Structure 1
Amino acid sequence: MKVGDKAPLFEGITDTGEKFSLADYIGKYNIVLYFYPKDDTPGCTREACAFRDNWNLLQGYDVVVIGISSDDVESHKKFKQKYNLPFILVSDPDKKIRELYGAKGFILPARITFVIDKKGIIRHIYNSQLNPENHVKEALKTLEMLKKEEESVS
């Protein structure tokens, strides 16, 4: 995947056990889709909490945030409750969604964030295993740019 590509559509199961379809959000919201290695590990917890701690800022951008790892629904549910995460977690146990986005990684599963605009186009990709808190900062910069683009059109 690269910037400018159409985001691949996928379906999965959320932390609440409900079916999730990316297609339901395209055309309505900007989307921050972030892949992370594992629930409740130090880096992944810092990353998830950075998205949580910036939630009020994110809400200003007409955005839905989706975290994806191969953990099961029950693990996602516990992780979300433990850290009071306000966004959707999707389980990808067979790593098919990760594969669609080329977010595989080498030793560890990749920590990579995609910002997708309302038209379903990937506008930014940030790949950093070692700077988990930067993922939300990168997403916010891109969302600000998208907001300015929308305002200049209207």
Structure 2
Amino acid sequence: MAIQVGDFLPDFQGIDQNNQLFDSSSLKGKQAVIYFYPKDHTPGCTVQACSFRDAYQDFQDLGAVVVGVSSDSVASHQNFQEKHQLPFTLIADLDKKIRKLFGVPTAFFGLLPGRVTYVFDKNGKAIFVFDSMRAKHHIDKALEVLQNELK
């Protein structure tokens, strides 16, 4: 069952780009943007990650934590983060358990892992879910939702 607006952030753990355990409980009391993307170093995913990087201060100013998740390895995430100077956490979901937990669909007739962004409020409730292969739109939509949340 896919996470919908109104659902709560599920408990999950994963290994980040620094080979450290990331636990979703660390997001309690914080707004969070969790985005799932197909693969490190691909054109669309690089555009998306760099767009999150370029808007990272805006997310921080709104009190939001940004977390990227794909099935790439820790080493791949490390390289991707260093190459593009990404200031946020990337989680290696090698077994796709986190992707399955969130119910992220596949795209292009099941050939590609889907690209979905979730925005959670400080109570851990999903306030926005955006499912689109158009990488750059995810950042603008997430920022808009967080800005409206503060109004």
State TM-score, norm by structure 2: 0.94
Q: Which runs of 5+ in 1 are unaligned?
A: 149-154
What CA distance in whole angstroms lies between the structure 2 residues aligned with 1:8 and 1:88? Answer: 17
1:142 is aligned to 2:145: yes
For residue 60 of structure 1, report the CA deviation from its aligned partner: 1.1
For 1:25, which of 24, 27, 49 is the aligned residue? 27
Cα distance in 2 for partners of 1:32, 1:145 equals 15
Deviation at 1:104, TM superposition (A): 3.0
Provide the rounded CA distance (Å) in 1 between the counterparts of 2:135 and 2:68: 13
Counterpart for residue 62 of structure 2: 61
In the alignment, which residue of structure 2 is the partner of 1:119? Answer: 123
Amino-acid identity (%): 44
* Offset of residue 120 of structure 1: 0.6
Q: Deviations over 1:48-87 (max 9, x none)?
A: 0000111121121111100000001000000000000010
SS at match of 1:38: coil
- 1:93-122 Cα deviation digits (max 9, x unpaired): 000000010113122100000001110100
1:50 paired residue number: 51
Gaps of 5+ in 2: none
Write the distance in 1 (CA, Å) between the matches of 2:5 and 2:139. 18
Number of equivalent positions: 146
Q: What CA distance in whole angstroms lies between the structure 2 residues aligned with 1:64 and 1:18?
A: 17
Q: Secondary structure at the match of 2:59?
A: helix
Distance 1:116 1:25 in 2: 9
- TM-superposed CA distance for 1:26, in Å, is 1.4
Q: Which residue of 1 aligns with 2:15?
A: 13
Q: Distance in 2 between the 1:88 and 1:18 partners?
A: 10
RMSD over aligned Cα, in angstroms? 0.8
Q: Which residue of 2 aligns with 1:94?
A: 95
